[in-house]
Structure 1
Amino acid sequence: MSTPCRRCPSRAASCRPWLITWEWPSRPLPLPLALVSRSVPPALRPSSYCRGTAVHGLAADESDYALSDRDFELIAGIARDQAGIVIRAHKSAMIRGRLMRRLRALQLRSVAEYCELLRSSDGHKELPSLLNVLTTNHTAFFRERHHLDHLRSEALPDSYSRALKHNSRVRIWSSASSTGEEPYSIAAMVHASQPPKAIDLRVLATDIDTDVLDKAERGEYAREVVERSPADLKPLLLCEPAGADTVRIGAALRRHLTFKQLNLITEWPMRGPFDVIFCRNVMIYFDAPTKKSIVDRCVDLLRPGGWLYLGHSESLSPPHPAFELIGRTIYRRR
């Protein structure tokens, strides 16, 4: 069934019978989809739509959204120089898809137009938003559970014992915290371990993406996201109702957390020492020199006997002399 643009009701459906729209209801929010035939009247391409709407530009030539080799090199170079992220040529289609968010937000007609913005004198203002759309934010509560089980059974008791003996504090760092599922999972384990009240304990959560940090700091999630947690661990999140289909992580967990924006390839303002560092599923995006630099700096921040957790597909290769492999992607500083 053809439908008019919701923001332009005066443009009746009869003027564009070649446009078919429907909704995909199985998403968290209905997703408008459209099918456009090749017989689009030239006079209606594509300025006849509201710019920035879901159907804006659907009738445009596909070449408008192509990512040329020159523009890909620009985007990949920015990702490498600004965030240490290595983007291979076979990821070109993925990058183009992610750039669509910025094109819609800025009401631009093509990838080429967006890249011209990046090359302009005002291009530096767009860099934070570009890095936000380029970074991957796939995560989940209690992901890679063996790390969290080890944290609760081994790393935390060891850290508490040391802190009480030396009258010191306990510090944990989630270095790529994304939308917050990882640091809240850490905080859940901390709370469940019942740390001695005399201990000053904090969890630092950082990420390069300011958008996901804002969401993480709010601590609000769709109920279905939390429901996907392991049944025996889900109660540890102490969730409170926040809306019809939304919950908020319990205050007893939120009080442990501090959120800060941090680009891992720039200077780190933290001085440590940390007892535990989670640096999971981020090394895979870096080249070898960047990985080595980050690991070396983790050594400097971790106390002797402190713990480093890497992602399931990551490892210290070649082995680092400062770390001993204790378990699957679990390392201890010598």
Structure 2
Amino acid sequence: MSNISEREFDYADADFARVKAIIYRKAGINLGDSKKQLVYSRLARRLRALQFNNFDEYLAYLEHNKNEQQEFINALTTNLTAFFREAHHFPILADYARNRKASAGKLRVWCAAASTGEEPYSIAMTLVEAYGTYTPPVEIIASDIDSSVLAFAAQAIYSLERLDALSLEQKKQFFLRGKGKNSGSAKVIDKLRELIEFRQINLLDRDWGLGAGFDVIFCRNVMIYFDKPTQLQLLERMVRLLKPEGLYIAGHSESFSHASHLVKLVGKTTYRLVDTSAGERQ
């Protein structure tokens, strides 16, 4: 209770309830009661920046300011990522690419939670290696709801420490080490950067503007932030965008046993479509 009295801004249960309702409505994120202090610490920065005296003033302003609604979403979304995180998925992607018929056209991948870019760049590196060329026949769309992390990803500059998961060969092949004032960082080479199209997409939007025909969808550790009905609704929409033999790749903490009518497990947190019209596709 001592933390409450030391807070810079008044923050009642009613304020937290309003925050939960707004983020659920705007982004589908289902905040548990354990996130109350996290919400305070993240939104207190916005109150200071805008010079509000309390949460009530801020939330009233939020409801009518579209720019601040994006800042609100950015503040409350979690962006935990790393190069080749959950590394077992990338050999699966490489095998899929190698076994695919050349006549099938471009291999289309959607990375639905791009965050600061490590995941889509890991996808791009995997496909360059799989095809043996810097110009593989691929289309990679990397999206996120958070505009600030997408801007970071597009800059494609990372501290050297963030490259620890990469092999020495990958560092040499795909990054340029900074010099002088840029020492301690590295930039993704243009040839890799050009394989990725970054887009801001809110998964709750009615139209994602993507079209169907994806070979692989990476949507890892995203569904955990939604309640079960929203998970099911989003999964149903996503798998509709997959080709019949396409792959849906989830995160380690996600399971779709409640969606066995939509997808079947074919590898570690890797799923394929179930054909509801004529039994499972083999």
TM superposition score normalised by structure 2: 0.87
Q: Secondary structure at the match of 1:193?
A: helix
Q: Secondary structure at the match of 1:276?
A: strand
Moved beyond 6 Å, runs of 4+: 196-199
CA distance in 2, matches of 1:218, 1:198: 20
Corresponding residue number in structure 1 for 2:277: none
Which blocks of at least 5 consecutive residues in structure 2 are unaligned? 274-280
Structure 1 vs Structure 2 CA RMSD: 2.1
Tell me whether 1:74 sits opposite 2:18 in the alignment.
Answer: yes
1:181–1:199 distance in 2 versus 1, CA, 3 Å: closer
Instruction: Output the amino acid matched with 2:191.
Output: A
Tell me whether 1:142 sits opposite 2:84 in the alignment.
Answer: yes
Which blocks of at least 5 consecutive residues in structure 1 are unaligned? 1-60
The partner residue of 1:165 within 69, 91, 103 is 103
CA distance in 2, matches of 1:276, 1:233: 26
Tell me whether 1:99 sits opposite 2:40 in the alignment.
Answer: no
Tell me which moved more, 244-253 or 103-112. Answer: 103-112
Q: CA deviation at 1:222?
A: 1.3
1:190–1:71 distance in 2 versus 1, CA, 3 Å: same
Tell me whether 1:111 sits opposite 2:49 in the alignment.
Answer: no
1:110–1:236 distance in 2 versus 1, CA, 3 Å: farther
Tell me whether 1:261 sits opposite 2:200 in the alignment.
Answer: yes
The partner residue of 1:180 within 101, 108, 117 is 117
1:306–1:140 distance in 2 versus 1, CA, 3 Å: same
Larger radius of gyration: 1
CA distance in 2, matches of 1:158, 1:282: 28
Question: Which protein is richer in helix relative to its size?
Answer: 2
1:81–1:206 distance in 2 versus 1, CA, 3 Å: same
1:138–1:324 distance in 2 versus 1, CA, 3 Å: same
1:150–1:116 distance in 2 versus 1, CA, 3 Å: same
1:199–1:215 distance in 2 versus 1, CA, 3 Å: closer
Corresponding residue number in structure 2 for 1:214: 151
Q: Secondary structure at the match of 2:266?
A: strand
CA distance in 1, matches of 2:8, 2:49: 16
Aligned length: 266
Written as runs of structure 1 = structure 2, the 5 A alignment for 1:229-244 is 229-231=165-167, 234-235=170-171, 238-242=174-178, 243-244=182-183
Corresponding residue number in structure 1 for 2:220: 280
Instruction: Output the amino acid matched with 1:238.
Output: F
Tell me which moved more, 291-300 or 176-185. Answer: 291-300
Does the 8 A contact of 1:64 with 1:112 survive in 2?
A: no
1:233–1:183 distance in 2 versus 1, CA, 3 Å: farther
Of all paired residues, the percent bearing the same amino acid is 37
Q: Which has the higher contact order (CA 8 A, sep 6+)?
A: 2
Does the 8 A contact of 2:219 with 2:251 survive in 1?
A: yes
Q: Secondary structure at the match of 2:154?
A: helix
1:252–1:89 distance in 2 versus 1, CA, 3 Å: same
Does the 8 A contact of 2:97 with 2:131 survive in 1?
A: no
Q: Secondary structure at the match of 2:141?
A: strand
Provide, for residues 78-121 of structure 1, a one-character-per-residue CA deviation record: whole Å limited to 9, x for no partner.
Answer: 111111000112210011111122123223343343223225xx
CA distance in 2, matches of 1:67, 1:74: 11
Corresponding residue number in structure 2 for 1:308: 248
Q: Secondary structure at the match of 1:145?
A: coil
Q: CA deviation at 1:165?
A: 2.8
Tell me whether 1:90 sits opposite 2:90 in the alignment.
Answer: no
Tell me whether 1:128 sits opposite 2:70 in the alignment.
Answer: yes
Q: Secondary structure at the match of 2:88?
A: helix
1:241–1:317 distance in 2 versus 1, CA, 3 Å: same
1:108–1:304 distance in 2 versus 1, CA, 3 Å: same
